Chains A and B, each alone.
Chain A
Amino acid sequence: MSRGWLLHAAVLGLVLLILAPFLWLLQMSLKTQADIFAFPPRLAFVPTLEHYRTIWDTAFRRSFANSAIVAVLSTALAMMLGVPGAYALSRARFGAAGTLGLWILVSRMAPPIAFTIPYFLAYRHLGLLDTRAGLVIVYLTFNLSLVVWLMRSFFDATPRSLEEAAWIDGAGLGQAFIRIVLPLSAPGLAACAILCFLYAWNDFFFALILTRTEAMTAPVAVVNFMNYEGWEWGKIAAGGTLVMLPVLVFSFVVRKFLVRGLTAGALRG
Chain B
Amino acid sequence: MAGSAVLERRFHRWCLAPTLAVLAVVTLLPTLYLLATSLTPLNLTQPQTAWDFSQPARNYHLLLADARLRGSLWVQLQLSLWTVGLQMLLGFGFALLLNLRSRFLEALRTVFLIPMVLPPIVVAIIWKVLYTPDISPAHWALAALGWPMPALITHPAYALPAIIVADVWEWFPFTMLMILAGLQMLPQELVDAARIDGAGAWRLTRHIVLPFLRGVLLVAALFRLIDSIKAFPLIFILTDGGPGTVTEVTNYYSYLQAFNFSYLGYSSAITVVLLAATVALSLVILRAAGWGPRSE
A-side residues, CB < 8 A to B, are: 4, 7-8, 11, 15, 18-19, 21-22, 24-25, 28, 36-37, 39-41, 81-82, 84-89, 91-92, 94-95, 97-98, 100-107, 109-122, 137-138, 140-141, 144-145, 148, 167, 173-174, 177, 198, 201-202, 204-205, 209, 219, 222-223, 226, 233, 236-237, 240, 243-244, 247-248, 251-252, 255, 258-259, 262-264, 266-269
Contacts and interface: CB of A to CB of B under 8 A. Distances in A.
Interface of A is mostly: helix
A153 to B, nearest CB: 10
Contact of B258 (A100, A101, A117): A117
Interface of B: 4, 7-9, 11-13, 15-16, 18-20, 22-23, 26-27, 29-31, 33-34, 37, 42, 97, 100, 102, 104-105, 108, 110-122, 125-127, 129-130, 134-135, 137, 140, 144, 169, 174, 177-178, 181-182, 185, 216, 219-220, 223, 226-227, 229-230, 232-233, 237, 251, 254-255, 258-259, 264, 267-268, 271-272, 274-275, 278-279, 281-283, 285-286, 289, 291-294
Nearest to A96: B293
A172 B49 CA distance: 56
Closest 7 CB pairs of A and B: A85-B19, A84-B15, A118-B33, A118-B30, A88-B15, A88-B12, A92-B12
B275 A202 contact: no
B22 A140 contact: yes
Contact of B19 (A22, A116, A148): A148
Contacts of A267: 178, 181-182, 216, 219
Nearest to B98: A11
A107 B27 contact: yes
Contacts of B230: 111-112
Given A18-B169, A22-B126, 20 more contacts: A8-B104, A11-B108, A25-B129, A85-B19, A88-B11, A95-B293, A109-B227, A116-B258, A140-B26, A141-B27, A219-B122, A237-B125, A244-B119, A251-B113, A251-B117, A252-B110, A258-B110, A258-B117, A262-B177, A267-B178
